[in-house]
Chain A
Amino acid sequence: MSLAARKLSVSVTSRRTGPIIARHQSKLLAGLFPRVGPEHRLTVLEIGPALPETVEFFSQFRCRLHFLDLYDEPFLRDQQNELSEKELRHRFEEQFAFPEGSQLDICLFGDFLSFLNDRALRAFNSALRPWIHPETRAHGFGVHHLAVKLEHHQYGIIDRDNLSIRSRHSDTMTYHPHSQVEMADMLNCFAFARGLLLPSGKLEMMLKPKAV
């Protein structure tokens, strides 16, 4: 590879993910698509890398997919504990530079929320709030105590009921367990639509905007 290509590959710095190592049959995922018909145009935010199965799945819809792989962002990986909530919010706002007027229909968080400390979670919530609307739905996983081991996984959508699980090839970030009550308090633009405790100890969550 040429030097120029190497430089460019660094700027597209998502770490490579491994092959699919497991599938997760989700009882909540289908709830993301209750009113979606072929004429509907979806706007989707995925916090994580673009995975082939996710792109393939959404290719059946008219859609715009925003992939934001924040896991390797230095402000979260290295500076999360030093930055103030305001500074963190600004960093998130810089990342959420969606086209003006965009409204997210679906947010896919994966395990991301569990890698945010309290300040970062509140900052994430504040930065995301302008982009959601009353019909927005979000899906993700949470851990509520440190006894639950959080592997560094990425999730892709195979179909409405199945997620792929892949290992992520990067150092595991420190994770910050939040109970459902803490999560609901800090991620306060969303309310829990449904939660499901999985055998692994993780909590699978379906979120909807909190009624104002």
Chain B
Amino acid sequence: MAMFDKHKSSKQPPQREEEPMVTRQAPSPSAPPTTSTPSKVAMVGDGISITGDVNANSNLKVEGRIEGRAVSSSQDIEVAESGVIKASITAKVVRIAGAVAGDITGSEKVIISSSGRVQGNIVAPRVQLDDGALFRGSIDMNPAEPAQASKPAAAKPAAEARPASPAPKPAQANKPSAPGAKKEPGLTLKSG
């Protein structure tokens, strides 16, 4: 390795290894670039496994695996194609391209994309299922009013969820089970 390294500039920063959980400034994918406001995204990276509850005060993207009782965010949750969640999920908008076993509450919308696989019950004002998505369970829709995070069907995750507030306190990470996981603002882990 050293014989290759010697050609590198000494000023070059070391190549970043896998960063399991980071908080990033990322533009909202749905908003046009000119008007988008960067928003924080907490991330559970591919290859990372967490056993316990996760509570985020920012958007949360899951590329790894979470197994517990509740995964919640006061913003949006995205389960990437490689992501697996075995827990109930509560957020404003929930997008699923990976696999979920658990009930899902979206106060605005739940979207299961074509690669998504969901086993559980969904409560949301609007639910979008893309062609090819696999879903087993029930869907509770009420287009007239946003789903309440405190509905009985989602009582457990709602109890864990922190509703959006004007000045949310930065959350402290508890004891993550994943080696290498570190405390990040806006993300709370509770080991199960």
A residues lining the B interface (CB < 8 Å): 1-2, 4-5, 8-9, 11-14, 16, 19, 38, 49-52, 55-56, 58-67, 69
Known contacts A9-B117, A14-B134, A59-B141; 19 further A-B pairs (Cβ under 8 A): A2-B82, A5-B82, A5-B117, A8-B99, A11-B119, A12-B99, A12-B119, A12-B135, A14-B136, A50-B133, A56-B128, A58-B141, A59-B126, A59-B127, A61-B141, A64-B140, A65-B138, A65-B139, A69-B136
Residues of the B chain whose Cβ atoms lie less than 8 Å from the Cβ of A62: 141-144
* Cβ-based interface call for B98 (8 A): yes
Kindly supply a per-residue 1/0 record for chain B positions 124-167, scoring 1 wherever the CB is within 8 Å of any chain A CB and 0 otherwise.
00111111111111111111100000000000000000000000
Q: Closest chain B residue to A68 by CB distance?
A: B136
Q: CA–CA, A184 to B100, complex, Å?
A: 40
Q: Closest chain B residue to A15 by CB distance?
A: B134
Jot down 15 A-B pairs with beta carbons below 8 A, ordered by A: A1-B82, A4-B84, A4-B99, A8-B86, A9-B134, A12-B118, A12-B136, A13-B136, A38-B144, A49-B135, A50-B136, A52-B133, A55-B139, A56-B129, A65-B140
Smallest beta-carbon distance A59→chain B, Å? 6
Which residues B62-99 have CB closer than 8 A to chain A?
65, 81-82, 84, 86, 98-99
Known A9-B117, A12-B134, A64-B138; judge A2-B129 contact (CB<8 A). no
Query: What class of interface size applies to chain B in its complex with A?
Result: 20 to 34
Residues of the B chain whose Cβ atoms lie less than 8 Å from the Cβ of A2: 65, 82, 84
Chain B interface, >50% SS class: strand
B residues lining the A interface (CB < 8 Å): 65, 81-82, 84, 86, 98-101, 117-119, 126-144
Q: Closest chain B residue to A66 by CB distance?
A: B138
Smallest beta-carbon distance A154→chain B, Å? 12
Residues of the B chain whose Cβ atoms lie less than 8 Å from the Cβ of A16: 132, 134
Q: CA–CA, A52 to B126, complex, Å?
A: 12
- Other-chain residue from A13, A56, A63, A67 in contact with B137 (beta carbon distance below 8 A): A67
- Other-chain residue from B101, B136, B141 in contact with A67 (beta carbon distance below 8 A): B136
Q: Closest chain B residue to A14 by CB distance?
A: B134
Residues of the B chain whose Cβ atoms lie less than 8 Å from the Cβ of A4: 65, 84, 99
Residues of the A chain whose Cβ atoms lie less than 8 Å from the Cβ of B141: 58-59, 61-65
Q: CA–CA, A65 to B141, complex, Å?
A: 8
Q: CA–CA, A8 to B85, complex, Å?
A: 10
